[in-house]
Amino acid sequence: MGRVVYLAGKVGAMVTDCCHTSGGVFLLLGDTLRSMFRYRIRWDQLLEQMYFIGIRSQVVVLTTGAFTGAVFAAQVWFQFKRFGMESAIGPTVSIAMCRELGPVLCCLLLAGRVGAAMAAELSSMKITEQVDALRALGVYPVEYLIVPRFLALVISAPILTALALVTGIGCGYFVAVKIFGVDGAYYWDNTIKFTDRKDVMIALIKSFIFGVIIATIACHKGMNCPPGTAGVGRTTTEAVVNASITLLIVNFFLTVLLNALLYSN
Amino acid sequence: MLELQGIKKKLGGQAVLRGVNLKVAPAEKVVVIGRSGSGKSVMLRLIMGLLRPEAGAVCFEGTRLTGLNEEAWNPYRRKIGMLFQGSALFDSLSVFDNLAFPLREDGEKSVKVLREKVEEALKIVSLSGTEQVMPAELSGGMKKRAALARAIIRKPDLMLYDEPTTGLDPIVADSINRLILHLGKMFGMASIVVTHDMTSARKVGDRIAYLHEGKIYFEGTPAEVDQCEDPLVRDFVRGHAEGTDVTG
């Protein structure tokens, strides 16, 4: 009986903690959106963040996109050649990249690279009283620290995803046509024929929403870092893990929702 | 100028301040002493609006600040400077940009004016020539002085000092004490200095307040504090651990 009560207590504490954190994340999101319209946009900060998030993440994202497309094309070729369906490799790779692999993998990498950096930087500022110093100087931290990071990520994520799609589909073509000898004309023709504009829209909408998720969770974690250097480490890890898991869960619901909305006719 | 009326504050469910009353007159230098964890820094944060009290009020220049929202606080924050315990310089900005930060926030765009004001503030704290240095390259004492220059660049009416001499060698600590006195004279600003360094307290304070168990337990001039026969105050002032739970 005692064990059951203990377990129930643990589960209850976890649920309470989860609700408390989720509430905090939503409140921060609301505050960020409000601050975006209430205060002037700090263009210098925004450009700096876009450089860090957008430009500096390109190598990682392009490499991921390229090899995901290449591996996927190879795997599909191994299976499809048994049925003589090599000409369907192009659209399969393209649709899979647009609808799932491109946005999900690109944003998982952004959660790891950018989310971790955001959480670590903000939590370091928090524990060294720099966030308090901002407030003491009459600057609202959400406006100064979070809005530029948030905007930079939600703008950069769809652009980086688009780049990942292009390289993924391009590398898929290279593997299928140049290495496995699939007919290039059929490959492109089928790719263009079966890849809809809506597939690209799904990729961009998903990556935009994933950008919102990563930025909000990472900033919330950073701004609520417990004191001490151990707190910074734990905060950074939790930011990446929470953002990645949330992203994967939300991806399922987005997939269902976007398919229902875009392909209902 | 500043009045704390029955301030109560809990942190982590524990009562830190249990009804603090304190008045600071214009140009007066009040030192708040007390044991570690007695709530001295919390008191400064409440004055600055970085924390909100559970009860009581902070009144500054006749305005009740408690209850104001974050945006309404900001005009008053511009009249109050704060030196943080860990300096809290923005580590991604150079010393020049750290000092120019509050001025830029006030809308100052002229590079010439910014340069002049930064140079003037750095000269006051004897840090001329460090404009392009990053905070990580400064020593502890230099960081404190740079942070002090940033805090006074708006020429506030009230300065809050959170442990200004902690972690500094006696010579550097003395230079900070002199600086606090000098700034008070130069700009006529009132000061609240939180410290447990009695040398510093005697040197800079017009009045010393001893914070104990969340309340101002004793208030007086430095001479009155030194002559106080109350065992709690006497032990603190003389640095005696007798009768104190040293394990706590």
Residue B245's pLDDT is: 55
Residue A106's pLDDT is: 93
The minimal CB distance from B105 to the residues A129, A130, A138 is found for A138
Identify which of B40, B11, B39 has the alpha carbon closest to the alpha carbon of residue B161.
B40
Q: Give the number of domains in chain A.
A: 1
The model's pTM:
0.86
B188-203 pLDDT tens trace: 888 999 988 888 888 8
Query: How far A217 CA lies from chain B's nearest CA (Å)?
Result: 23
Higher pLDDT, B243 or A12: A12
Q: How far is residue A128 CA from its own chain's centroid? A: 29
Beta pairing class for B29-33 and B207-212? parallel
By three-state DSSP, how is residue B61 classified? coil
A129: domain range? 2-260
Tally the C-alpha atoms within 13 A of residue A256's C-alpha that lie toward its C-beta.
Answer: 5
Q: Is residue A9 part of a domain?
A: yes
Q: Is residue A50 part of a domain?
A: yes
Give the span between the Cα atoms of A166 and A61, in whole angstroms: 11
Determine what percent of chain B is predicted with pLDDT higher than 90.
22
Give the span between the Cα atoms of A94 and A98, in whole angstroms: 6
Give the span between the Cα atoms of B175 and A28, in whole angstroms: 42
Spatial contact of A82 and A37, defined as CB atoms under 8 Å apart: no
Q: How far is CA A94 from CA A107, A171, A199, A210, B224, in A?
A: 18, 11, 9, 20, 83
Return the domain boundaries, chain B.
2-88+155-201+223-238
Length of chain B: 248
DSSP label at residue A225 = P
Question: Residue B63: pLDDT above 60?
Answer: yes
Residue A103's pLDDT is: 94
Count the Cβ atoms, other than its own, within 10 Å of residue A227. 10
Residue B243's pLDDT is: 54
The minimal CB distance from B88 to the residues A129, A138, A140 is found for A129
Q: Is residue A64 part of a domain?
A: yes
Whether residues A136 and B102 touch (CB distance < 8 A) is answered with: no
Q: Is residue A98 part of a domain?
A: yes
Residue B248's pLDDT is: 43
Segment-wise mean pLDDT, segments of 10 residues, chain A, 265 residues: 84 86 90 90 91 90 93 91 84 92 93 93 92 92 94 94 94 92 87 89 94 95 86 91 94 92 78
Whether residues A138 and B74 touch (CB distance < 8 A) is answered with: yes
Q: Is residue A108 part of a domain?
A: yes
Residue A114's pLDDT is: 93
Question: Residue B184: pLDDT above 70?
Answer: yes
Token pair 């929702």 is found at A257
Chain B residues whose CB is inside 8 A of the A138 CB are 74-75, 77-78, 102, 105
CATH assignment of B2-88+155-201+223-238, given 3.40.640.10, 3.40.50.2300, 3.40.50.300, 3.40.50.720?
3.40.50.300
User: Residue A165: which H helix or E strand, with range?
Assistant: helix A147-173
Residue A265's pLDDT is: 64
Residue B194's pLDDT is: 92
B77-113 pLDDT tens trace: 888 999 998 889 999 899 999 999 999 998 888 999 9
Spatial contact of B8 and B56, defined as CB atoms under 8 Å apart: yes
- Residue A149 in tokens: 């990071």
Token pair 């740079």 is found at B146
The minimal CB distance from B70 to the residues A129, A132, A140 is found for A140
Whether residues B105 and A139 touch (CB distance < 8 A) is answered with: yes
Query: How far A135 CA lies from chain B's nearest CA (Å)?
Result: 7
Residue B244's pLDDT is: 54
Chain A residues whose CB is inside 8 A of the B80 CB are 136
Determine what percent of chain B is predicted with pLDDT higher than 70.
97
CB pairs under 8 A between A and B: 46
The minimal CB distance from A130 to the residues B45, B90, B105 is found for B90
B174-B175-B178-B184 Cα dihedral, nearest 10 degrees: -130
Chain A residues whose CB is inside 8 A of the B45 CB are 132
- Alpha-helical runs (H) found in chain B: 40-48, 70-77, 95-105, 111-124, 140-152, 170-187, 198-204, 222-227, 231-238
- Residue B140 in tokens: 């502890």
- Residue A253 in tokens: 């619901």
